[in-house]
Amino acid sequence: MESPIRKLQPVSIWNHFSDLNAVPRPSKKEERIIDFMVNFGKKLMLETFVDEVGNVIIKKPPTKGFENKKTVVIQSHLDMVHQKNSETVFDFETQGINMFIDGDWVTADGTTLGADNGLGVAAIMAVLSSNTIEHPTIEALFTIDEETGMTGAMGLKGGILSGEILLNLDTEEDDEIDMGCAGGIDVTAKRNYQEETTPSETLAFKIAIKGLQGGHSGMDIHKGLGNANKLMNRILYHGTESVGLRVSNIDGGSLRNAIPRESFSTIVIKENEKERFLLKMKDLIGLIKEEFKVLEPNLAIDIINTDIPNKIMDIATQKVFLKSIYTTLNGVYRMSPDITDLVETSNNIARIIVGNGNIYVACLTRSSSDSSKKDLTNALTSCFELANFKVELSGSYPGWQPNINSEILKICTHLYENLYGEKAKVAACHAGLECGILGQNYPLMDMVSFGPTIKGAHSPDEKVNISSVQKFWKFLQQILKNIPERNS
């Protein structure tokens, strides 16, 4: 039976999105989606090619009467964030996304939806496959690996594109037009520790933190949501100080660009400390839930008996490690002094893995200011190095500096107000859009970013608003129809 999602309006976008979501497309493993896009372009008899890093470019000639308009690059990324609830059985590398309609929203069954940035890709596909939409010459740019390094945008060489205007379709509020974004850098801390044999006369417990909202580590970082890695560290620190808790292993978070929703650890305590430990934990868990009762109503922290592990972390390293995570900033470092309510600089403690004598901590630091990004990076590095970690900095990418005199920005804001009777929110965002990177090799390209309303991106709660897709689609068509003439 045909999915009801394919019958939603606009039918072309939802059918292309359904086709996309049937193709597994994890970051850094985009071979199948690249082949899918190449076949799509060739079936339309359009010039289609893949550059040396894997980006797909499809070019479409202008419609009649639009030959003298400026060439437009329409851009979205092919990869998607892979997150699922711990109880969801799903293989992102072999299965398509299971979608369903929930009121005025489309969401997925226990996994990320892929609306980020699949709806943008689907909209471009709808333009390319249409015989009725008026438009200038189009260069459709489908980048790879946006979510885990932006290596597609970084690898796109100058001279491949001739467009003077770029429309990035990766913004997540349908009343917003973005003109700037944050850059970022990966901060990774590693160290070894001595494993010790678990003492006799001990009990073991598994501590599980689940039910947090998670979300986008840029767009949602200012909301004060719970970070499972920080909450787990708080519990382990308290247990260490009060009853001599010993850590065997920790597995928290998943992707750098997602606020951690879950964390799991195995710990041991002395048998004679059981009652006091459980009482202390009950009190602390109660305090944590009270602190987060509004923001995280589904937070669950469970402590369950388990088999005694063979090895634990040496106590000296354990104390230093827990103190270092306590000290490490998570959240907003600085608000923008220039743009109201915009986060300038932040850090997300995204991933913590402890076990087998190794500690691994992964952070994503974002900032629209290179100097502030460096300042926070230095602070994080200093904190970890004081705890004898080796720190690696990688994956640095630039922000996109706002241009308030942008011609395409003025066209978009004017069109939006005419279409909807209200002004669009013109903003810079704290997400890492690819525009800043693309601008390095195409410095004269005039850029804006917009898109449909997507909530819960980078989490299994991700959903896209059906009405906003209709609004976005109408807006995109009007922009293409109103592209200015080439300069003589």
The secondary structure of 254-320 as a DSSP string is: --TTB----EEEEEEEEGGGHHHHHHHHHHHHHHHHHHTTTT-TT-EEEEEEEPPPSEEE-HHHHHH
- Mapping DSSP to helix (H, G, I), strand (E, B) and coil, where does residue 142 land? strand
CATH superfamily of 4-182+399-481: Zn peptidases (3.40.630.10)
- Give the residue ranges of DSSP H helices in 63-142: 115-129
- From-to residues of CATH 3.40.630.10 in the chain: 4-182+399-481
Structural tokens at position 380: 């994080």
Is 146 noted as a catalytic residue in this protein?
yes
The angle subtended at Cα 121 by Cα 116 and Cα 122, nearest 5°, is 105
Reported as a pLDDT band with limits 50, 70 and 90, residue 1 is: low
pLDDT in tens, 291-348: 999 999 999 999 999 999 999 999 999 999 999 999 999 999 999 988 888 999 999 9
pLDDT in tens, 261-302: 999 999 999 999 999 999 999 999 999 999 999 999 999 999
Where does the chain hold its CATH 3.30.70.360 domain(s)?
A: 185-397
Sheet containing 165-168: which strands, arranged edge to edge?
47-50, 56-60, 138-143, 72-77, 165-168, 446-449, 176-181, 425-429
Angle formed by the axes of helices 407-420 and 466-481, to 10°? Answer: 130
Q: What is the mean pLDDT of residues 450-456?
A: 96
What's the pLDDT at 323?
Answer: 98
* Least confident stretch, 239-248, 250-259, 446-455: 250-259
Helix (H) or strand (E) segment spanning residue 104: none
Distance CA 152, CA 211 (A): 33
Percent of the chain with pLDDT over 70: 100
The predicted model gives 400-409 an average pLDDT of 91
Query: Is residue 79 annotated as a catalytic residue, yes or no?
Result: yes
What's the rounded mean pLDDT across residues 143-172?
95
Q: Determine contact, residues 295/226, Cβ cutoff 8 Å.
A: yes
CATH assignment of 185-397, among 1.10.10.10, 3.40.50.880, 3.30.70.360, 3.90.280.10:
3.30.70.360
Average confidence score pLDDT of the chain: 96
- pLDDT at residue 473 in the model: 98
Q: Which position among 79, 139, 446, 462 bears the catalytic label?
A: 79
Q: Are the C-beta atoms of residues 361 and 325 closer than 8 Å to each other? A: yes
Give residue 85's pLDDT band: very low, low, confident or very high (50, 70, 90).
confident
Which residue in the list 116, 146, 262, 462 is annotated as catalytic? 146
| Closest to 184 (Cα-Cα) out of 430, 396, 401, 433 | 396
Burial class (CB in 10 A: 0-12, 13-18, 19+), 372: middle
Q: Are 380 and 393 in contact (CB under 8 A)?
A: no
Question: Taking residues 423-427, what's their average pLDDT?
Answer: 94
Query: What's the predicted TM-score (pTM) here?
Result: 0.81
Model pLDDT for residues 213-253, shown as the tens digit of each residue: 998 999 999 999 999 999 999 999 999 999 999 999 999 99
